[in-house]
Amino acid sequence: MSTILLIEQVLNGLQSGIMLFLMAAGLTLIFGVMGLINLAHGSLYMVGAFAAAAVAAATGSFVLALVAALVAAAAAGAIIELVVIRRLYDRDHLDQVLATFALILIFSEGTRWVFGSFPLYLDVPAALSGPVTLPGGILYPAYRLLIIAVGLVIAAGLFALIAKTRIGIQIRAGEADREMIAALGVDISKLYTMVFALGAALAGLAGALVGAIQSVQVGMGEPVLILAFVVIVIGGIGSIKGALVGALLVGLTDTLGSVLLPIFFASFMDQSSATAVGSALATMSIYILMAGVLLFKPTGLFGKA
Amino acid sequence: MISERTVNIFLFALLPVTVLAAWLLDEPFIITLATKAAILALAGVGLNIALGLGGLVSFGHAAFFGLGGYAMGILASHAQSYAPLMEVPFLIEGTKSMPVIWLVALVTSALAALAIGALSLRTSGVYFIMVTLAFGQMLYYFAISWPAYGGEDGLSIYVRNGFPGLNTLDPVQFFLIAFAVLTVGIFLAWRLARSAFGLALSAARQNAERVETVGLGPYRIRLVAFVISGAMTGLAGALFADLNRFVSPTMFSWHLSGELIVFCILGGVGRLYGPVAGAMLYVLLEHVLGGLSAYWHIYLGLLLLLVVLFARGGLIGLLSGREVAHE
């Protein structure tokens, strides 16, 4: 296996990891601040992708499409927070799981109803559709590099938001003691709606960015949601840093596993069974990673005990 | 308000009465629907041992349902093609006999539940939900990517498996088999809830520290409950695959895990007959709403949302009030 291929795959792993981070960050924020498990987060990812595809088809502008994804997902997030989610903060996790599962059914079938069952396509903007040459002569798609860059910028922005700004302080205070900050005069329900909309916007952005590489279709958010759960379990619930580390670990393991494991097995098996065993094991690799983390740190790498 | 006992007797009688009526009116499709409801109810009764009694919100019970399904699919497909499962170190052949398949389904899903439970029960709360969900998904992707048994397309079995002394191709006789297994499942769940073990499990749900203080280990109690729960759901999976004569990775899908939880909630959490009521209601809704609109999941979602937000006792709670589960 050549070094170039390996570096390419590492970049692919980074790219999928950083998109997972955008999903996982929202989930973990919402859990950390409101104590809510939100299964419908994948639906917000889907909403973002569909909004982007619809706006791109109407206007032809990729930038407008991204803006639409952010706005649509944030709006959808704010609406479900106001109508449904805020009734769930005091409920047990079972109720939260069920209500958000119900939201998935409504979102998925609603989207199918509006857009039909056929996938939509969102094109990568022409300026970014070609490859760029990286040091060492590696050709890599410009768009995927852009995704990595955008993801890193957003990650940095999120860390700054949480660590430096007034809202960040309120969010952290909300995690620690919600009664206290309510008593100090912070409008807690407004803060909750804002955090939820922020998480939703991140998910919607991820959906739109990934939607340009894959197809935009109903149910696209669900595999990503489950990967994001794995990320959070590995990283530790409520920790943004954990979400970043977990997302990169999962992205790299998943991508490299599916490339390297078949090659590894081919070294001592015949090609067709090596491909079968290797790819089957590769699909399980991130869960094995999760199981390993659970054995040693049941609350995740950066979770509070 | 009607007493929960009366509601239970009514629910128990509803399926056989429906089938009797359908048989008299010569409506085999209704019998198939009732069989489906009985099998899904069994899966729900299994889940309810972990969920209702033990308070363990498993979002991965499709794993066991699917394993039961594949136990049937793999054994029957080998019997169908006359190719043995393995020859070394000893010969294992496929089979078309339901009791053998059930046994294999029970053992396989119990072992899987032991492994998944041992890891997942190290966590609690939201972690437990996400970890069980993830392990269920792991098996789902494994089933898709493993080409030997149909991969994404699944396995078709041409003729339903046999049961000694019965003609399983007759819808009524197959219903009776499924209903008999459901009855045994309900009886076991009822005995379990009243046994010392069941009391300890309930206590571990309510106050784990106190259980520990009296010298019982909540982890082991929960693990045993999880294994029993998984095995029962696995058996239901084998029956479900036999009903459809088809098994595919969708039996592992997390939607199915969600639906199993929905049965328990629609019927009433922690009640013995909750999953039975829920599964019947679900099959009915699927049939009626599904006939009205291709987008019936929207209505199901809205109904579920209303139940969770406003009617937490579920169907049985609506009929017999909100007093304690398990009389």
**Alpha carbon of A226: minimum distance to chain B alpha carbons (Å):** 6
Residues on chain A bordering chain B, Cβ-to-Cβ distance under 8 angstroms? 31, 37, 84, 87, 93-95, 97-99, 101-106, 108-110, 112-113, 222, 226, 229-230, 232-233, 237, 276, 279-280, 282-284, 287, 290-291, 294-295, 298-300
> How far is residue B102's CA from residue B76's CA, in Å, rounded to a whole number?
12
C-alpha distances in Å from residue B170, one per residue of B17, B28, B323: 17, 9, 41
Query: From the list A283, A291, A298, which residue is nearest B145 (CB)?
Result: A283
Which residue in chain B has the smallest CA separation from A86?
B309
Return the pLDDT at A279.
82
pLDDT reading at B178 higher than 50: yes
Q: How much of chain B, in percent, has pLDDT values that exceed 70?
A: 98
| Residue type, position A48, single letter | G
Element at B165 (helix H, strand E) = none
Chain A interface includes B301 (CB < 8 A): yes
Which of B267, B24, B18, B302 shows the shortest CA–CA distance to A83?
B302
> How far is residue B247's CA from residue B138's CA, in Å, rounded to a whole number?
17
- Does A87 sit within 8 Å of B265, measured CB to CB? no
Return the pLDDT at B173.
93
Chain A interface includes B118 (CB < 8 A): no
Could you tell me the domains of chain B?
Answer: 4-320 (1.10.3470)
Summarize pLDDT for B82-93 with one digit per residue, the tens. Answer: 888 777 777 777
Chain A interface includes B122 (CB < 8 A): yes
Summarize pLDDT for B225-254 with one digit per residue, the tens. Answer: 999 999 999 999 999 999 999 999 999 999
pLDDT reading at B44 higher than 90: yes
**Alpha carbon of A36: minimum distance to chain B alpha carbons (Å):** 9
CA B9 to chain centre: 21
**Alpha carbon of B104: minimum distance to chain A alpha carbons (Å):** 23
Neighbour-count burial for A206-244, b at 16+ CB within 10 Å, e otherwise: bbbbbbbeeebbbebbbebbbbbbbbbbbbbbbbbebbb
SS3 assignment, position A138: strand
Do B218 and B211 contact (CB within 8 A), yes or no?
A: yes
Assign B325 a pLDDT band (cuts: 50, 70, 90).
very low
- Main-chain phi, psi angles of A216, to 5 degrees: -95, 110
Return the pLDDT at A121.
86
Do B240 and B127 contact (CB within 8 A), yes or no?
A: no
Do A288 and B119 contact (CB within 8 A), yes or no?
A: no
SS3 assignment, position A214: coil
Give B124 or A67, the one with higher predicted confidence: A67
Measured between beta carbons, the chain B residues lying within 8 angstroms of A99 are 304-305, 308-309
Return the pLDDT at A274.
82
Chain A interface includes B135 (CB < 8 A): yes
Low pLDDT (below 50) residues in chain A: none
Chain A interface includes B312 (CB < 8 A): yes
Helix, strand, coil shares of chain B, percent, nearest 5, are: 75, 5, 20
Return the pLDDT at A305.
55
- Does A95 sit within 8 Å of B57, measured CB to CB? no
> How far is residue B59's CA from residue A94's CA, in Å, rounded to a whole number?
10
DSSP character string of B261-291? HHHHHHH-TT-TTHHHHHHHHHHHHHHHHHH
Assign B327 a pLDDT band (cuts: 50, 70, 90).
very low
Q: Averaged over B43-64, what is the pLDDT?
A: 94
C-alpha distances in Å from residue A209, one per residue of A38, A95, A270, B210, B279: 22, 32, 38, 50, 40
Mutate to test the interface with B, among A33, A105, A106, A290 (most CBs of B within 10 A): A105
Chain A interface includes B58 (CB < 8 A): no
> How far is residue B147's CA from residue A222's CA, in Å, rounded to a whole number?
23
Could you tell me the domains of chain A?
Answer: 3-296 (1.10.3470)
| Residue type, position A237, single letter | I
Return the pLDDT at A1.
57
Summarize pLDDT for A136-181 with one digit per residue, the tens. Answer: 778 888 999 999 999 999 999 999 998 899 988 888 888 888 888 8
SS3 assignment, position B92: strand
Which residue in chain B has the smallest CA separation from A230?
B134
Chain A interface includes B133 (CB < 8 A): yes
CA B55 to chain centre: 17
**Alpha carbon of B144: minimum distance to chain A alpha carbons (Å):** 8
Tokens 């924020």 belong to which residue? A29
- Does A95 sit within 8 Å of B308, measured CB to CB? yes
Return the pLDDT at A276.
80
Mutate to test the interface with A, among B135, B206, B292, B305 (most CBs of A within 10 A): B305
Do B141 and B250 contact (CB within 8 A), yes or no?
A: no
Query: From the list A95, A108, A229, which residue is nearest B297 (CB)?
Result: A108
Helix, strand, coil shares of chain A, percent, nearest 5, are: 75, 5, 20
Assign B221 a pLDDT band (cuts: 50, 70, 90).
very high
**Alpha carbon of B135: minimum distance to chain A alpha carbons (Å):** 7
Largest Cα–Cα separation, chain A:
68
pLDDT reading at B326 higher than 70: no
C-alpha distances in Å from residue A1, one per residue of A9, A133, A268: 11, 20, 15
